[in-house]
Amino acid sequence: MSVLAQAPPDPDLTRPIMVIAVCAVIIIVTVFLQVASARRRAHALTPEALQEWQTSSGRLLDQWIDGVEGEVRARRTAPAPDSVLAAPDPPGFAEAVAECPDPVLAGLIAELRRRAATFLAAARSGDPNRPEVATAEASWLEAKERAGAHLRDAFVVNAAQ
């Protein structure tokens, strides 16, 4: 029993464990940021990638926009607006939007889709000629113009390079 009484107390390992844990977190975050940065550089927007997307998938975006505007136009001119069928998304539209190579344009398209949902909901829920629909339409047109302007600017900038 006297041998146990003379043993030194266990050392406090709290500080070394905390230092190791903090170092591990710093290493993991650094590696993650490096990988994310490398992926961004690897998927850099090129004129060719944007042009390819515009000619293949961009046409689906145009079809979708025409469908949204066509449905509202039909509801405004129909004798019974409730009889107008909802315009479906073109086949492959969701995939085309997901494959957009320009992250800024992808964000603008997402905003355009949100505003289209608001615009269509307003047009579908009563008289499509009331002021609430006009307000939603103005918001939709503003988002559509921003997305179109970004796409036009991207082609001008990329063509100049």
Query: pLDDT by residue (tens digit) across 78-125?
Result: 999 999 999 999 999 999 988 888 888 899 999 999 999 999 999 999
Residue 158, amino acid: N
Q: How far apart are CA 123 and CA 117, in angstroms?
A: 10
Please check whether residue 109 is in contact with residue 151, taking contact to mean a CB–CB distance below 8 angstroms: no
Q: What are the boundaries of each domain within the chain?
A: 2-42, 47-160
Token pair for residue 138? 């103005």
Residue pLDDT tens, the chain, 161 long:
555 566 666 778 888 889 899 999 999 988 888 877 666 555 556 778 888 888 888 889 999 999 999 999 999 999 999 999 999 999 999 999 888 888 888 999 999 999 999 999 999 998 999 999 999 999 999 999 999 898 887 765 444 44
Please check whether residue 54 is in contact with residue 44, taking contact to mean a CB–CB distance below 8 angstroms: no
Q: How far apart are CA 20 and CA 13, in angstroms?
A: 11
Percentage of the chain modeled with pLDDT above 90: 52
Model's pTM, two decimal places?
0.66
3-state secondary structure of 125: coil
Closest residue by Cα to residue 144 from 99, 111, 118, 117: 111
